[in-house]
Structure 1
Amino acid sequence: MKLSKYRQKHSEIVGAVIALTELLPVVKDAMDYSLSFVADSEEIAALIDENKRVLDSLEAQRESNEKEMAAVRANIQKERDHSNKKKERAIAQAKEMDAQLQKKMAEYIEKEKAEVAAHNERMNVLGAKESELSASIVRKTREESDIEKRLNKLKASIGGVG
């Protein structure tokens, strides 16, 4: 009996070895697949690491670009502020110059008005003097004429008597 058990076990073992031998190509294919999966996984891991490095580099570049853009924006704002201050100063100067010009124009106009008024006053005085002189000339001419008439009468009376 022991022998038959032993044979039976031997048969089972041989059957199992045959079954395993038949499974060997499948196991080999599975191992090859596993190894290729591991190789692919390592390649994928290497690609992931490379992508992480590229992403980190891009992130660092983006941060650097943002800092540079912030500096550029600050410079642009500074230039705008400077330009606005220049414009404000120029406008203030222009307003001041305009006010001074308006003041000088007003002074000039007042001076001209005063000169015209003084001229008109002188002209009125001269006109009055001219009228006076004309009246005086007319009176003198009449007096002269009266004197001539009296002289002529006197001459006539002297000439007629003598």
Structure 2
Amino acid sequence: MTETFDMAVDFRATMSRLATGVSVITTRSGSTPIGMTASAVSALSLDPLQLLVCIGNHLYTRTAIAEHGRFAVNVLGEDSEHLARNFAASKPDKFAGVETVDDHGVPVLKDAIAAVVCDVAEAIPGGDHTIFVGEVRYCVHKVECRPLLHFAGGFSMLQAPQ
């Protein structure tokens, strides 16, 4: 019997065991707000202040970030699974009923537990994704909030400290 092995499926299943925070990446296309749920976000540097996001090349958000040159990472809290699902869905107006502030040229979600607004410093090809290195222009966070996590294909929360 020949065993079939699909490395991409196995890799995806393996990486799903890495618990990650859930964020909504926001930007603009002209005057239209654009957003998507993402978990491939990481701090990169303190000098200069930089972070990175990885966006699939097939996604309109990738084009919008490249054209607008600015994006926000909105970190979701444990009570924001509805926002994660909303921005992961394929629908025309993901911002309907979602409160935002637009003081920094991109929409920032009012319900986010943290937000970082960045200018694109670099766009680096990364296989079927683009790695955007963002230079931090503004950041804010709420104290004593816990993040929404993505693990094994579903959403989860941190347990309260004992």
Q: Give the TM-score category using the shorter length.
A: under 0.3
TM-score by structure 1 length? 0.13
Flag the structure with higher helix content.
1
Flag the structure with higher strand content.
2
Kindly name which structure, 1 or 2, has the bigger radius of gyration based on alpha carbons: 1
